Amino acid sequence: MGLPELLQQLNQVILRQQLSLKLKRLTLLWIVAGCLTLLTVLLLPPVTTPTEQAALLGILLGLPFCIAVAMLVYRQRNRYSPAGRHAVATLIEQTYPDLDTSLLATLELEKRNPTESFTFLQKRLIAQVISHGTRNDWRQSISNRRLILQNTTHLICFAAWLLCCLSCWTLLQAAPSSVETPTVAAAAEQTGFEVEIQPGSTEVELGHPLLVTARFIGKVPDTATLRFTTAGGTSTELPLVKQLDDPIFAVRLPSVTEDLAYRIQAADWESEVSKVKVYVLPELVQLDSVVTAPAYTGQPEQKNEDSLTLSAITGSTIQFHAHFNKPVARAEFKTDDGDSLPLVLDSEGLSARLALQAEQDQTWSLQLTDRDGRHNRTPPYIDLAVIPNLPPEIKVTFPARDTRVSPLEEALVQGTVVDDFGLQQVGLVYAIPGQEPQTVVLRDSQKPAVEFTAAHLLSLERLHVQPDTLISYYLFAEDLAAEGRTRKVLSDMYFMEVRHFEEIFREGRSPGGGSKSGKSGGNAQQAEKLAEQQKQIINATWKVIRREIQPTVSEQFDPDLETLAQAQQSLVAALLKLSEKIKSQKSKALIGTISQKMQEVVVQLNSTREAKTATTLTTALAAEQASYQLLLKLRAREHEVSKNKNGGGSKGGGSNRSQNQLQQLELTNKKQRYETENQASQAASAQPDRETLQILNRLRELAERQKDLNEQLKELANKQRFAKTDEEREEIERQLKRLRDRQRELLRQADEVAQRMDQAKQPDSAKSRRELEQTRQHLQQSAQSLKEGQVSRALNSGTRAQQKLNQLKNDFRKKSANQFADAMRSLNQQAEQLDKQQKALNQALNGEQKPEPGARRSLRKNRGNQELAEQLQQQEERLKNLMEQMKQVVQESEKSEPLLSKHLYDAIRKTRPFRPEDALKDAASFLKDGDDSRARAAEAQASRGIETMKQGIQVAAESVLGNDLESLKRARQALKSLTSEMKQEEQLASNSTGQQAPRGSSGNPGEQGPQQADQKSNSKQAQGPGKPGQPQSGQPKPGQPQQGQSNQKQNGQNPSQSGKGQSKSGPSQGGQSKQGQPGQGQPGGGKPGSSGQPSPQESPQVQLTSAQAGKGQGSQSVSPNSSPQRSSAPRSLKGQRGQSQGGPGGSQGGGPGSPNPGPLTGNQFREWSDRMRDVEEMVGDPELRSRVAQIRERAQSMRAEFKRHSKVPEGDLIHAQILEPLAELQTILSNEISKRGAQTSLAPIDRDPVPEKYSDLVRRYYEELGNGK
């Protein structure tokens, strides 16, 4: 330690001293500047011109600021001089008397000769002084408290100076302009008053306040009065108020509504007269518009009164009629780009007109200029939304796919055509190879139609088509484009393949072990594949033709044709490769013809590509269809069907359509039982849902604002009724004006909502649009009544508008509530699952034995800890995902469901203090380190956080699951009706005698009644040769229906009737069994019922061999008369098929006195099963849906056994497997409804449903208890 260290400590104190000095100087500067500013305002004469005002303000602000900057920047060159250090040392000595001048003595050593060294005593003195400075921090000689106080004082003075400057600026702004020369009234000699009056003679905008000040110079009177006279001759006196000791008197007129003249009076003196002229800025009073749609739309003129937002169809003519509050010299629509459209003014300038064509969306601002050059303060914006004229949408609804038809069939083609403004012509075009395309006009009316259902019955017998002929067809529609020309739109192209009149499927032997098909069907199978590929080329070519409707081709035209040519060329190569395998000379010749046609297609596609025109594509399309026609002749015509024992079928050379047809006749469509069927449609309607949320948000705002407006109208009506003085009436008039402006603003917002509805084009937007138009009329009536001063009438119209808005809001809220209900249902389920898993982890952790002191660590225990640590990490990931989903729902529901958003946000906020994610992470880390106690503590913290989060999610879910409660009620009501119908079945089974057990039952033993187990042994003697069905894995249920039974095919039974996924009855079910739906079959061998295709994993494979059908067969593909074993069909089933639905022959058991058949043995099972499916969709809980699905599948299995063996199910079995679960399900739903219902409803609390695996034991317990055992 030496003298330099001591000097460094002193320099730090010097810096603090200089900082304190600068703060003092700045404080003094702001005080002086503030005082000078006040003196300048009081003593200097008023500054009138803006230039002088700006210069004065610049001096008042700039001069002190520059001085302050100079003070801060300035630094003394000799700030660390010996004199400065001596002064600081003196200050330190005064602060610390214990130094006893040792610091000053040490500084004297600085004056020594630098070459001399310090003595021992000098070194010791320096060390003691430096040690003292280190212990006591000499910088506190200028304490922190002192610096803080100086800095605070400096800031206060600086704020006071700024306040003075702002006051000066306010007074400068209030000063009159150069043209508004203040009136200087020289007092009479006997009084000696000299007064400056501001603003003197001036102009004021209508309705704005006026401040009059009188500044007395010299002698000041005690009181002063303002006397003004309006243009109507009314005189009024107002006292002027003196401000403190200032010689300034002032008075403020709250609103100037007409020209006036005023003067100042004081004692026996009065000033000269000053005049105030009132002016009005131009503004828009009302904008009306008439929209004339193009003639082809057939829509009437649309009149919009007092509307700034409107929608118009492309090409519409819009006539604007604007009304102004005063004559204007110029009015124009101006865009953001600067383009303007001048309006044509009338002779007086009070209104203007403009006509324009609606071409694109546009927004204008209305700029107004009066004759004095004044502009409107806030230009209104006019928003125009142009609705485009879209082409028609064509959808072929039946058969909506390629079909195989017989030469004698009448093929029905149906479709729907929808256009936005009107269809002109709709028709069907079908083509047969070698013939000209035929056009069938289905609609040709002069009156346009928005929607049309097209239907045409194509009689193939009259067309004299031969087997293996390919008929192509499509629908077309014509409407008018925006420019008035006819626009033609084509649908997708479909094909009808004419098959042989009969195709017999006979049972054959399968090659052992599920081997693949033999070589006999390989060539036909390859021809089938080639035909499918050729059909894809046809569809792709047709797609290009439909797309290229403009005069010039698109950018995709060239690459698309190149791809088509390459695909056609590769198909030629595949065809030649097939020719090498074929030995038949006729087939080889046919392949040569096909190859030649395909080569023509390639040449035509290349030439069309080079010509850059799509007109010649039709020639290529005809060649492609001819190639496809010839490919069909390469296929085999007779099919042999066999089934492998191991379920892996072998294919013959038949077509895939024949294979699918056979599978529909024999296999059960096994859909995924618990999938949500509307998930695909939700993704497609995501954009309309978001638009619905936007409309919902605006409707909610409109309803709330209209409600507030109605409440204010009620208060104003009461005030108007009891108003007595003129002041009260004037105040009411001002409030009425404000309310009328607010009502007109609501009218503008309603127009915006209507515009969004027009642009959204949702399916039900037309109805909502009409309701909103009625609401707008009520809003307009309310605004007009307020303008006329009719408060009661305005309140009535506003109340009706509020009711309509609330109704619209509720409708749209229901549309958007489903997604949040599903999201909350999912969050609730995830939270419960997470809580269950956390409790299981808690039990696993707390179940660990605490290690004894000195015990050896076990590898097995370490492995257990590792597994628990991994489970905790997985739990952490699940928790993070759940939290992210919650945040997403909070953001999405913030506008449409604020209550849900608030509850979810509260759940997240209450969960954060527990930090469950970090706690789970710490618990896993502690487990890996072997610290079980700390792991249990961290896990307990995480459990509390997850429990808190689960409770918060449950509270949030209750705010949006009101619809779910109604669904549960509907589900309970539906279950009651379903149970009542099933009881009829139980009664029928109880009255029947000679019942036999159904065969092939392989259900869960826990679900079988006592008699069912005994009946298994008796079922073998009646067992057919087919293999019994196997139950689906993962779901406990009774035995599945047997597949491959010969008697089933003889009866024409289609098991897809009793399976899942049945479609609605209609023309598509022409090939279904008459047993399930009598009277719905179609003659002519239509396609099988469209109940869904069984997946390859679920359906057994079959083998096809083909042979052309002989003669003697009818038109039906499956006929009892043609079956060689028709006598083996049950008598009761024959009678049931022969009777119409609900006929006397339909009851099982027959005879008088028999009860009506239930859903299992009657014709109503399809409807009963569909209603059970509806219940599945109504309940949201997965466990409840699983229960409903199990009940339905048990009933389906019983129905299949009944149809297969004509054995009525036992009453005990129906009661145990269907009725009891239905009753339990109703009880569960009732309890759930009671829990979610009103607070006063009673609900059992400690009454959980019996677990399914114990239900049979509980039932037998009560039976034995009832028998007295």
Task: Give mean pLDDT, residues 438-467.
Answer: 84
Alpha-carbon gap, residue 731 to 715, rounded angstroms: 13
Pair type for strands 317-324 and 351-357? antiparallel
**Cβ contacts of residue 491 below 8 Å, gap of 6+?**
394, 395, 396, 415, 474, 475, 476
Please tell me the predicted confidence (pLDDT) of residue 428. Answer: 92
Question: Same domain for 137 and 270?
Answer: no
Q: What pLDDT does 699 receive?
A: 82
Residue 326: which of 374, 261, 383 has the closest Cα?
Answer: 374
Q: Which residues pair with 185 in a beta bridge?
A: 195
Mean pLDDT in residue range 874-884: 89
**pLDDT tens by residue, 386-411:** 888 888 889 898 888 888 888 888 88
Alpha carbons 388 and 366: distance in angstroms, whole number: 25
pLDDT higher for 1111 or 905?
Answer: 905
Q: How confident is the model at residue 1031 (pLDDT cuts 50, 70, 90)?
A: very low
**Cβ count within 10 A of residue 1006:** 12
- Taking a C-beta distance cutoff of 8 angstroms, is the pair 76, 99 a contact? no
User: How far apart are the C-alpha atoms of 1137 and 1206, rounded to whole Å?
Assistant: 13
Tell how far CA 686 is from the center of its chain: 5
Mean pLDDT score of the chain: 73
pLDDT in tens, 715-732: 888 888 888 888 888 888
* Cα–Cα distance for residue pair 1140/1069, rounded to 1 Å: 17
Q: How many residues does the chain have?
A: 1269
Domain match, 715 and 840 both: no
Q: What is the DSSP pairing of strand 381-387 with strand 309-313?
A: parallel
Mean pLDDT of 123-149: 76
* Max mean pLDDT range (210-214, 531-535, 1103-1107): 210-214
DSSP letter, residue 1108? B
Type of residue found at 871: Q
Which residue, of 620, 638, 656, is where some domain finishes?
A: 638
Query: Which residues span the domain enclosing 140?
Result: 3-169
Amino acid letter, 1014 = D
Q: Are residues 264 and 347 in the same domain?
A: no
Nearest-angstrom CA–CA distance, 1006 and 1256: 7
Query: Residue 830 — φ and ψ, nearest 5°?
Result: -65, -40
831 and 807 in a common domain: no
Residue 316 CA to residue 356 CA, distance in Å, equals: 9
Q: Return d(Cα 615, Cα 548) in angstroms, integer.
A: 9
The more confident residue out of 1141 and 746 is: 746
Q: What average pLDDT does range 597-613 have in this prediction?
A: 86
* Eight-state DSSP code of residue 257: -
Contacts of 750 (CB under 8 A, 6+ apart): 702, 772, 775, 776, 779
When pLDDT is cut at 50, 70 and 90, the band that residue 289 belongs to is: very high
Give how far Cα 1265 sits from Cα of 1027, 1220, 1228, 1269, Å.
41, 18, 24, 6
Each residue's pLDDT tens digit, 321-341: 999 999 999 999 998 888 889
pLDDT at 1116: 35
For 800, the token pair is 């009706």
962-991 vs 1165-1178: helix crossing angle, rounded to 10: 150
Q: What is the mean pLDDT of residues 637-664?
A: 43
- Kindly tell me if the per-residue pLDDT of 597 is higher than 50: yes
Shared-domain flag, residues 142 and 219: no
* 1023 falls within a domain: no
pLDDT, mean of residues 985-989: 80
Last residue of a domain, one of 336, 355, 387: 387
Give me the mean pLDDT over the 514-522 stretch.
46
Residue 337 shares a structural domain with residue 443: no
Kindly state the DSSP code that residue 140 receives in the 8-state scheme. Answer: G
Cβ atoms of 244 and 198 within 8 Å: the answer is: no
**Angstrom distance (rounded) from CA 31 to CA 29:** 5
| 512 has pLDDT over 60 | no
- Strands (DSSP E) contained in 293-348 are 302-304, 309-313, 317-324, 328-334, 340-342, 344-345
* pLDDT score at 1084: 36
Cα–Cα dist 786/784, whole Å? 5
Query: Kind of pairing, strands 202-205 and 274-279?
Result: parallel
- Residue 1080 above 50 pLDDT? no
DSSP structural state of residue 633? T
pLDDT of residue 1033 exceeding 70, the answer is no
Residues 6+ apart with CB under 8 A from 1228: 1184, 1249
Tokens of 475: 């629908």
Res. 55 pLDDT band, cuts 50 70 90? confident
Q: What is the pLDDT of residue 678?
A: 39
Q: At what angle do helices 522-547 and 557-581 cross, to 10 degrees?
A: 170
Residue 1038 pLDDT more than 60? no
Give kind and range of the element (H or E) at residue 225: strand 225-230
In whole angstroms, give the CA distance from residue 655 to residue 403. Answer: 12
Q: What is the pLDDT of residue 353?
A: 93
Instruction: Assign residue 839 the CATH number of its domain.
Output: 1.20.120
Residues 473/496, Cβ–Cβ less than 8 Å:
yes
How far is residue 1126's CA from residue 900's CA, in Å, rounded to a whole number? 64
Cα–Cα distance between 1200 and 1129 in angstroms, integer? Answer: 15
pLDDT confidence tier of residue 1135, bands split at 50, 70 and 90: very low
- Does residue 30 sit in the same domain as residue 149? yes
> Are both 806 and 822 inside the same structural domain?
no
* CA gap 768, 698 in Å, rounded: 14
Same domain for 967 and 957 = no
| Residue 872: pLDDT over 50 | yes
Please report the pLDDT score of residue 321 as a whole number: 94
Q: What Cα–Cα distance (Å) separates residue 176 from each residue in 405, 593, 1041? A: 96, 102, 101
pLDDT tens readout for residues 182-212: 444 443 344 456 888 888 899 998 888 999 9
The pLDDT-based confidence of 51 (bands split at 50, 70, 90) is: confident
How far is Cα 172 from Cα 59, in angstroms, rounded to an integer? 14
For tokens 């699940």, what's the residue? Answer: 878
Distance (Å, whole) CA 1055 – CA 666: 6
DSSP-derived secondary structure letter, 1216: I
User: What is the pLDDT at residue 687?
Assistant: 39
Asked if 164 and 34 count as a contact pair (C-beta separation under 8 A), the reply is: yes
Compare 299 and 813 and report the one with higher pLDDT: 299
1062 found inside a domain: no
Task: Report the percent of the chain where pLDDT is more than 70.
Answer: 70
What band does 461 get if pLDDT is binned at 50, 70 and 90? confident
Instruction: Give me the residue label for tokens 């107002």.
Output: 238
Same-domain check for residues 343 and 403: no
Q: Is the pLDDT of residue 1067 over 50?
A: no
Helices 726-760/765-788 angle, 10° precision: 160
What token pair was written down for 176? 């009159």
Confidence bin at 693 (pLDDT 50/70/90): low
Residue 141 and residue 50 share a domain = yes
Q: What is the pLDDT of residues 346-370, one digit of tens each?
A: 988 899 999 999 888 888 999 999 9
Does some domain include residue 156? yes
- What does the pLDDT average to over 656-661? 50
Chain segment 131-143, per-residue pLDDT in tens: 777 777 777 777 7
Q: Is 97 among the domain residues?
A: yes
Choose among 1058, 1037, 1055, 1039: nearest CA to 1191. 1037
What pLDDT is stored for residue 689 in this prediction?
A: 55
With a CB cutoff of 8 Å and minimum separation 6, the contacts of 379 are 334, 365, 366, 367, 368
Task: Say if 654 falls within a structural domain.
Answer: no
What angle do helix axes 916-929 and 932-958 make, rounded to 10 degrees?
160
- 1148 vs 125, higher pLDDT: 125
Q: With bands split at pLDDT 50, 70 and 90, how would you rate the model's confidence at 345? A: very high
Q: Looking at 921-935, 969-983, 1191-1205, 1254-1268, which range is the least confident one?
A: 1254-1268
Across the range 754-777, mean pLDDT stands at: 73
Q: Is 90 exceeded by the pLDDT of residue 866?
A: no
For residue 1095, the model assigns a pLDDT of 37
pLDDT band for position 763 (cuts 50, 70, 90): low
CA gap 282, 206 in Å, rounded: 11
Q: Quick one: tokens of 193?
A: 């008053």
User: Which domain CATH number covers 266?
Assistant: 2.60.40.10
* Local structure of residue 47 (DSSP, 8 states): P
Q: What is the DSSP letter of 80?
A: T
Which of 412-416, 518-522, 582-586, 1095-1099 bottoms out in mean pLDDT, i.e. has the lowest?
A: 1095-1099
- Residue 1269: what pLDDT? 56
Instruction: Note whether residue 1025 is domain-resident.
Output: no
Q: What would the mean pLDDT of 704-713 be, rounded to a whole number?
A: 87
Residue 1114 domain flag? no
Q: Taking the CA atoms of the chain, what radius of gyration do you get in angstroms? A: 47
H or E element at residue 572: helix 557-581
pLDDT band, very low/low/confident/very high, at 1102 (cuts 50, 70, 90): very low
Tell me the one-letter amino acid at 382.
I
Q: What is the pLDDT of residue 17?
A: 77
Q: What is the pLDDT of residue 768?
A: 77
Q: How many domains does the chain have?
A: 8
Instruction: Record the pTM.
Output: 0.45
Q: Among 147, 169, 191, which residue terminates a domain?
A: 169
Q: For residue 582, give the amino acid letter.
A: I
Same domain membership, residue 234 and residue 153: no
Q: What's the pLDDT at 733?
A: 85
Of 319, 385, 381, residue with least CA distance to 351? 319
| Chain centroid to CA 449 | 32
Q: Can you tell me the distance from the alpha carbon of 330 to that of 1248, in angstroms, rounded to the nearest whole number?
A: 80
Q: Is residue 664 part of a domain?
A: no
449 pLDDT more than 90 = no
